[in-house]
Amino acid sequence: MLLTWFLLVAIMITAYVVLDGFDLGAGILHLFIARTDEERRTMIRTIGPVWDGNEVWLLAGGGTLYFAFPLLYASGFSGFYLPLMIVLWLLIFRGIGVELRMHLDTPVWRGLFDGSFGLASLLLAIFYGAALGNVLRGVPIGKDGYFFLPLWTNWRVGPQPGILDWYTVLSGAVALFALGLHGAYYVALKTSGEINARAKRAARTLWPVIVALTGASLAATLYIRPDLLDNYKRWPVLYIIPAVVAGSLFSMWRASSRGQERGAFLSSCVYLIFMLVGAAAGVYPNLLTSTTDPTRNITVYNAHTGSYALSVGLIWWSLGMAIAVGYFVFVYRMFRGKVTAAGHGYGSYSGSGRNRQG
Amino acid sequence: MDDALMMHRLQFAFTVTFHYLFPQLTMGLAPLIVILKTMYLRTNNPLYNRAARFWAKVFGISFLMGVVTGIPMEFQFGTNWAQFSRLTGGVIGQPLVMEGVFSFFLESAFLGLFLFGEERLSKIAHWWTAFAVFAGSWLSGFFIIMTDAWMQHPVAFQLGANGSFQVTSFWGLLLNPWGLIQYSHNMCGALITGTFVMSAVGAYYLLEDKFVEEGRAFLRIGVIVGIIACCIQIFPTGDLHGKMMGKYQPVTVAAMEGLFKTESGAPMVILGQPDAESEKIDNPLVANKVLSYLLYGTTTATVKGLNEFPKNDWPTNIPLVFYTYHIMVGLGTIFVAVMAVSAFLLWRGLLYKSRWMLWIILCCLPFPHIANTAGWITAETGRQPWIVYGLMRTAAGYSKDVHAGNSLFTLIGFMGLYTILAILFLFLVYRVIAHGPVEETAAEIESGTPITAA
């Protein structure tokens, strides 16, 4: 039961990263590869009808965490208070950036919201990466199960670290480039013409970077937390995970060099999924590790909700998620294919890049 | 009250109050948009489809503001109220996740189709997307109110190890009688906001003498639905809510009414300023015996005053509870009067020509938002000093490791950011209204900026 809920939370967070990941990636890239207003608009229209639904995975994932592992939710969210608040503010800037740019047709207005969308996406990617880095590194959990991390201390990985140290900054960089690449493959898949070509060029530039960063972050993780290999040693079948990560990197390169847009994007999805699965497999059954005293670790065993709630939860949760996945399949099918020239594609919901016939 | 507790409370109060300005409008407009789409299906008159699209634009902007200010709400349970979350996750985690899983996915999936899918879908299918958006937004309201209802009136739980609350009945929690009454009262309140906004825009167009046909349709639908909603708001939903509070939260009722001492045949204070120090109302204007009658159905019933309860169980800010309650009730009564006169004039065929009435309707525009906000402040500050009524004090619920300085830092951040959002919202909705419910030409669609073309 506890492993099931651990997996469900992990699935929701992974789904969020894969789905909103390409929204953020498109946001980051649009700072660099879209030059004209039309091109920016095309890029935003690739995510217009789906970004909000993708973001719901974050809410549903956070809620599921609250429900299934209240101690982790309480301790983690209050301990990461400052970066979480910054993430919330950035999500606001990202949301209005996507949705409001089309309301006025003036360079300043559009520049403002394009900047808001792009910079917020960029910073969000870094913060998410740093957050994952913090979970992997561990935090100084107190006797009462709580902690509070400052944004930075001395930038070293020690018993009293800050949110940002060299390791979490590296994690942030991995996330930034991984989501940028993910977004590049997505934009290439959903567009044609000049933007498509530039997205592919960006992907070719980013690919070697992500290969290098993946290796560096793996080495750094094992350097600061060698015990993350314990589960792997106990169940060697888990070594398939890093193999899949390596395979997905290779298949990204292969698919993109053969011009297979869908294959490259799906490989990138597999890459993100297995990076997260690999991390989850390393930390289980810990949810948050204490840097000061291992008896203070927050684990699935000491953080969970009562068993009645969890078993009934399995029923309604599965039902609700089955319906939600149905919506996603339906919506993605409705808006499948490439975004085309103005007025013949689709747009974002409070903006006006929409295709209507009187 | 210590500083950190105060800051955490202020931040939650500020962010939730601001947030709820938008959902009440979207939940109020959603059923009205479904009505417009239904009328389009039945009459085939393009006027109604144009009207539905116009309101969909307002809905879209309001929905966006609701989404971006709503995400912080779910996270603040953990960030600012860690002790509370840790102990209650086993109960209210459930409706919170259900809100995401059952309603946010529904809303987000169909809103895109509703706003952009019109020419990819048949007329009937497009009606269903509007209906799905309506259902999603009302379901979301249901789950979040069930969450709040459990804090107001905890049911279906037992105390687990380490003092945590654990749910014992799925349906018991979801069908909390308190929540059902609160939900009907709240949704009716949202509908009042929607109908007043729609009527006010209709009145504005008639007074400006533009989009007259559409303006009349807005008034017609707004007033007809509005008079029904305004009446239901007072009876039975408001009445039931009051009686329920009289039964389970008598100390809150005493604070709402400014009743410091127990009385039989208690009066209702219509105006006055409660002085919580010397326990009396300054400058009272009272209606004798009315309170006893409203709560218990007889003019002689005894109503418990604040003096019956230990002082440390009194709501922490009695004047605030008193004022917000009176603002809510006072405005609710005025709304019935405004809508009743409007409905009468509509029935007699005079409404569109009665400029004085159109002015009144227009000037009522902001007040349903104020009444809804005041009602929520009454409920939530009336619940104090409890975070889970009778079981857990608010002072025991906040994040001990997040000190007052951090909380003030983020409160200031939210204030700045939300000021920008408020300005953007007003600016963009003003533009939609100024542009009006016009037919979009092919050129405007091509340019991608139909709203700017006016």
Nearest by Cα to B265 from B314, B305, B325: B305
Instruction: List beta partners, residue B268.
Output: B287
Interacting residues of B19 by C-beta distance below 8 A, sequence separation 6+: B66, B69, B70, B72, B73
Give the highest mean pLDDT range of A192-206, B278-292, B438-452.
Answer: A192-206
**Which of A73, A317, A346 is the closest to B85 by Cβ?**
A73
**Which of B75, B113, B449 is the closest to A102 by Cβ?**
B449
With respect to residue B144, please indicate whether it lies within any of the assigned structural domains: yes
pLDDT at A343: 47
pLDDT at B289: 87
Min mean pLDDT across A71-85, A216-230, B226-240, B278-292 is at: B278-292
Residue contact A352–B93, C-beta within 8 A: no
Chain B residues with beta carbon closer than 8 angstroms to that of A349 = 60, 63-64, 111-112, 115-116
CB A29 within 8 A of CB A42: no
pLDDT at A331: 85
Residue A235: both structure tokens together: 């169940």
The string of pLDDT tens digits covering residues A212-227 is 999 999 999 999 999 9
pLDDT at A349: 46
CA of B79, closest CA in chain A: separation in Å?
4
Residue percentage of chain B with pLDDT more than 70 = 96
User: Any idea which residue has 């952009």 for tokens?
Assistant: B116
C-alpha to C-alpha distance for B12 and B16, rounded to whole angstroms: 6
The string of pLDDT tens digits covering residues B88-125 is 998 999 999 999 999 999 998 898 888 877 877 889 99
Residue contact B116–A349, C-beta within 8 A: yes
Residue contact B449–A92, C-beta within 8 A: no
**Which of A88, A92, A146 is the closest to B401 by Cβ?**
A146
Chain A residues with beta carbon closer than 8 angstroms to that of B410 = 81-82, 85
Residue B142: both structure tokens together: 């249901």
**Which of B86, B111, B450 is the closest to A349 by Cβ?**
B111
With respect to residue B267, please indicate whether it lies within any of the assigned structural domains: no
CA distances from B75 to A74, A349, B268 (A): 10, 25, 40
Angle subtended by helix axes B82-98 and B46-80, to nearest 10:
150
Residue contact A321–B101, C-beta within 8 A: yes
CA of B140, closest CA in chain A: separation in Å?
13
Residue B222, pLDDT > 90, answer yes
Residue contact B421–A71, C-beta within 8 A: no
With respect to residue B362, please indicate whether it lies within any of the assigned structural domains: yes
With respect to residue B185, please indicate whether it lies within any of the assigned structural domains: yes
A336 touches chain B (CB under 8 A): no
Average pLDDT over residues B28-49: 95
The string of pLDDT tens digits covering residues A81-120 is 999 999 999 999 999 999 998 889 899 999 999 999 999 9
CA of B119, closest CA in chain A: separation in Å?
6
Residue contact B77–A60, C-beta within 8 A: no
Nearest by Cα to A342 from A325, A330, A355: A355
pLDDT at B449: 35
Domain ranges of chain A: 2-334
Q: Hey, how many other C-beta atoms are within 10 angstroms of the C-beta on B124?
A: 9
Residue contact A305–B89, C-beta within 8 A: yes
pLDDT at A345: 44
Instruction: Give the residue from A9, A11, A85, A354 with the most B CB atoms within 10 Å of its CB, the best one to mutate.
Output: A85
Following CA atoms B226, B227, B230, B236 in sequence, which dihedral angle do they give, to the nearest 10 degrees? -130
Residue B15, pLDDT > 60, answer yes
A343 touches chain B (CB under 8 A): yes
**Which of A41, A309, A328 is the closest to B166 by Cβ?**
A309
Residue contact B71–A343, C-beta within 8 A: no
The pLDDT tens digits along chain A (358 residues) read: 889 999 999 999 999 999 999 999 999 999 999 989 888 988 998 898 889 899 999 999 999 999 999 999 999 999 999 999 999 999 999 999 999 988 898 999 999 999 999 999 999 999 999 999 999 999 999 888 899 988 888 888 878 888 999 999 999 999 999 999 999 999 999 999 899 999 999 999 999 999 999 999 999 999 999 999 999 999 999 999 999 999 999 999 999 999 899 999 999 999 999 999 999 999 988 898 888 888 888 888 888 888 888 999 999 999 999 999 999 998 888 888 888 754 444 444 444 333 333 2
C-alpha B66, offset from chain centre: 12
Interacting residues of B197 by C-beta distance below 8 A, sequence separation 6+: B25, B28, B29, B58, B222, B365, B368
| A295 secondary structure, DSSP code | G
pLDDT interval class at B454 (50, 70, 90)? very low
Residue contact A63–B97, C-beta within 8 A: yes
pLDDT interval class at B39 (50, 70, 90)? very high
Residue B375, pLDDT > 80, answer yes
Chain A residues with beta carbon closer than 8 angstroms to that of B411 = none
With respect to residue B229, please indicate whether it lies within any of the assigned structural domains: yes
With respect to residue B291, please indicate whether it lies within any of the assigned structural domains: no
Residue range of the domain that includes B64: 3-249+348-453
Give chain B's domain count: 1
* DSSP-H helix ranges across chain A: 2-33, 37-47, 51-68, 70-79, 81-100, 107-137, 166-190, 193-224, 230-234, 240-257, 261-283, 300-303, 307-334
With respect to residue B18, please indicate whether it lies within any of the assigned structural domains: yes
pLDDT at A93: 96
Residue contact A331–B109, C-beta within 8 A: yes
C-alpha to C-alpha distance for B190 and B295, rounded to whole angstroms: 25
User: What's the whole-number average pLDDT of chain B?
Assistant: 91
C-alpha to C-alpha distance for B8 and A244, rounded to whole angstroms: 45
Give the highest mean pLDDT range of A33-42, B259-268, B424-433.
Answer: B424-433
Show which of residues 49-88 on chain A sit within 8 Å of chain B, judged by CB atoms.
Answer: 49-50, 52-53, 55-56, 58-60, 62-64, 66-71, 73-82, 84-85, 88
C-alpha to C-alpha distance for A213 and A173, rounded to whole angstroms: 8
- Across the A:B interface, residue pairs with CB atoms under 8 Å apart total 261
A22 touches chain B (CB under 8 A): no
With respect to residue B171, please indicate whether it lies within any of the assigned structural domains: yes
Residue contact A77–B78, C-beta within 8 A: yes
Average pLDDT over residues B45-74: 94
Chain B residues with beta carbon closer than 8 angstroms to that of A149 = none
Residue B447, pLDDT > 70, answer no
**Which of B112, B160, B448 is the closest to A102 by Cβ?**
B448
Measured between CA atoms, the residue of chain A closest to residue B156 is: A309
Show which of residues 188-247 on chain A sit within 8 Å of chain B, judged by CB atoms.
Answer: none
CA of A131, closest CA in chain B: separation in Å?
15
Chain B residues with beta carbon closer than 8 angstroms to that of A305 = 89-90, 93, 166
